[in-house]
Structure formats: structure tokens, C-alpha cells
């Protein structure tokens, strides 16, 4: 009886994992397609175009930019500071799974503990605001 229960639990777990994989295999490409028509800039160029006059340190901006792109599973060169959390970066409709924006919150909370409350209070609407609050000294 215990053996049968373990087999049933294992099968149910395997089905759940396969289902989750199928959902992700469709959801992420849909999100990534939002950015496919953009020019793929290198991160140095992104800093020069959008952040060089901000007073933020280049190394810090590039580091957080790369971490954001990795967390969101998006190409760093296709992201722009004006990308909004409720539009370009919003969860894909029709998928009731946790989105990468939750992971981005966790990244900010874990790596910028001292700034996390300021981020929450500022309620940034786009990547530029998010980065400025995180890195402002």
C-alpha cells in the first residue's frame, strides 16, 4: 500500500513538473517576443545613452542591468530604461504562474537590503526609476 502511494505521488509530481515546463516553454518566448524588434545594444552603449549624465557609477549600472536582464530572462541589449513594469515587462496574460517580476523584487530585496524600503515607497514604474532608487547614493 505504501509503495502504491509513493508511486502515485511520484507520477503526480512528474506530471506537475512536465506541465510547468510546457507552460514556461510557451510563456517566456511570448514575453521575449515583445522585444525582438529592438536594436540589440551593448550594455556600454546603454549606459552612455541613458545613464552617463545621471551621476550613477558605470560599473554599478552595468552590473545591476545585467542582473535585471538575467532575472527577467531577457536580452540585456534589448531592454530600455523606459520599459514599464505594467506594460513591456508585465506578466504574459493567460498564464497563472509566478512571473519574473517577483524574482526581480527578491533580487532587489536580497542584494539591496538597505534600499529595499525606499524602492517599495518609491513604487518605480520603469527600469530607470528602479535603478535610480537602488543605486542612488
Which grid cell is 116? 529595499
Tens digits of residue pLDDT in 29-54? 888 899 999 999 999 999 999 999 99
Question: Does pLDDT of 109 surpass 80?
Answer: yes
Distance CA 65, CA 42 (A): 11
Residue 58 CB partners (closer than 8 Å, separation 6+): 47, 51, 52
Distance CA 109, CA 36 (A): 29
Task: Quickly list H helices, the chain.
Answer: 2-33, 43-46, 58-72, 100-111, 113-122, 127-135
Tens digits of residue pLDDT in 67-95? 999 999 999 999 999 999 999 998 887 65
Amino acid at each position: 500500500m505504501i509503495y502504491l502511494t509513493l508511486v502515485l505521488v511520484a507520477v503526480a509530481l512528474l506530471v506537475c513538473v512536465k506541465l510547468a515546463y510546457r507552460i514556461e516553454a510557451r510563456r517566456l518566448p511570448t514575453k521575449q517576443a515583445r522585444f525582438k524588434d529592438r536594436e540589440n545594444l551593448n550594455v556600454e552603449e546603454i549606459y552612455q545613452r541613458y545613464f552617463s549624465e545621471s551621476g550613477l557609477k558605470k560599473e554599478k549600472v552595468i552590473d545591476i542591468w545585467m542582473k535585471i536582464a538575467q532575472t527577467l530572462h531577457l536580452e540585456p541589449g534589448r531592454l530600455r530604461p523606459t520599459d514599464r513594469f505594467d506594460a513591456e515587462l508585465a506578466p504574459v496574460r493567460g498564464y497563472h504562474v509566478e512571473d519574473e517580476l517577483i524574482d526581480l523584487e527578491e533580487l532587489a530585496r536580497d542584494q539591496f537590503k538597505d534600499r529595499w524600503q525606499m524602492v517599495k515607497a518609491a513604487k518605480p514604474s520603469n527600469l530607470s526609476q528602479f535603478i535610480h532608487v537602488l543605486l542612488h547614493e
